[in-house]
Amino acid sequence: MKEKDIVEELFCTNFELKNLSDLLVYGKAERWIYGFMFKKYEQEHLDRYKYILKYTKDKNVLDIASGCGYGTYLIATEGKANQVIGADLNEDAIRYGNHRYPHENIKRFVADGTTFKYDSLFDIIISFETIEHVPNYLDFVNNLYANLKDNGTLIISTPITKTTNTKPNNPFHVIEWNFYDFHKLFKDKFEIMDIILQEIRIPPFKKRNEYTIKNRILNRISPEKTQKPTIGQPIEKFTNQYDMNLVDEGYQTLILKKKNNV
């Protein structure tokens, strides 16, 4: 093994151990490192990438906020993309991906998603679990639009909350959107083709606990049973099967088509 390879291998091992330490100490980690994340969350990432691979064959693809690079690698290999550009703000993540998941059809860059430009436009842009981290998220949306070819496809995911929240519990997020509020970000520049849901949760309805004559009568006539929350599938297409205004957890992925000449 060459000296450079040894240096890179040591770097990657330290990077993995740091992520593992964050999981053990804090119960969470900011980045998806394949094989170094809780099984549930890793499977969510894998399901997301594998679902969209049917779109990428022979396409020029941008994976924006590509993280540690395994998803980009899947697009190039299983997705059979013509070319995949991975871009991420974190230099260490790009370095890790270049060493762990190199491929002749992949190029990676350290770059800001709100300003990144390439020397050609893309057929498809993929952005998973990114926009909720971006303070100037409208600039991000505009830049994704600018990087797409006419009639190009944007595939973008984000967590779902019941009410749009600019102070989410996740310390890495600056905003989380209600299901329908998120769609409004794209209505001027994109057309929604499909919506994919993951692990959505609808909490149980509240019992009639308030002490009123009406509730006392209702409880006698039809006592409320203890209800369980509604839990969606690991991955499924949205076909109006849920009242999405009631959803307080889960993820949505939008498959969007660029509107030309906007």
- Count other C-beta atoms under 10 Å from residue 135's C-beta: 9
How confident is the model over 37-65, as a mean pLDDT? 94
Dist CA 30 CA 23 (whole Å)? 9
Residue 63: which H helix or E strand, with range? strand 60-64
Per residue, the 3-state secondary structure of 83-94, as one string, reads EEEEEECCHHHH
Residues 6+ apart with CB under 8 A from 246: 162, 202, 203
Dist CA 71 CA 160 (whole Å)? 22
Q: Are 124 and 64 in contact (CB under 8 A)?
A: no
36: phi then psi, degrees, rounded to nearest 5: -130, 50
- % residues pLDDT > 70 (the chain): 89
Residues 6+ apart with CB under 8 A from 261: none
User: Hey, is 234 helix, strand or coil?
Assistant: coil
Q: What mean pLDDT, rounded, does the chain reach?
A: 91
- Give the residue among 173, 163, 183 at the shortest CA–CA distance from 238: 183
- Count other C-beta atoms under 10 Å from residue 182's C-beta: 23
CA 229 to chain centre: 23
Residues 6+ apart with CB under 8 A from 62: 84, 85, 87, 118, 122, 124, 125, 126, 147
- Give the residue among 236, 231, 258 at the shortest CA–CA distance from 51: 236
- Cα angle 227, 231, 232 (rounded to 5 degrees) comes to 150
pLDDT at 261: 83
- Count other C-beta atoms under 10 Å from residue 73's C-beta: 24
Q: What's the pLDDT tens digit per position in 172-213?
A: 899 999 999 999 999 999 999 999 999 999 998 655 455 566
Going from the N-terminus, what domains does the chain have, and what CATH number goes with each?
A: 3-258 (3.40.50.150)
- Pair of tokens at residue 14: 């330290």
Pairwise pLDDT comparison (36 vs 218), residue with the higher score:
36
Q: Are 158 and 178 in contact (CB under 8 A)?
A: no
CA torsion sign, 231 to 253 to 77 to 10? negative
Q: Is the pLDDT of residue 221 over 80?
A: no
pLDDT at 103: 97
Q: Is the pLDDT of residue 218 over 60?
A: no
User: Hey, is 41 helix, strand or coil?
Assistant: helix
pLDDT at 214: 63
Q: What's the pLDDT tens digit per position in 98-139?
A: 999 999 999 999 999 999 999 999 999 999 999 999 999 999
Dist CA 262 CA 241 (whole Å)? 32
Residue 214: which H helix or E strand, with range? helix 213-221
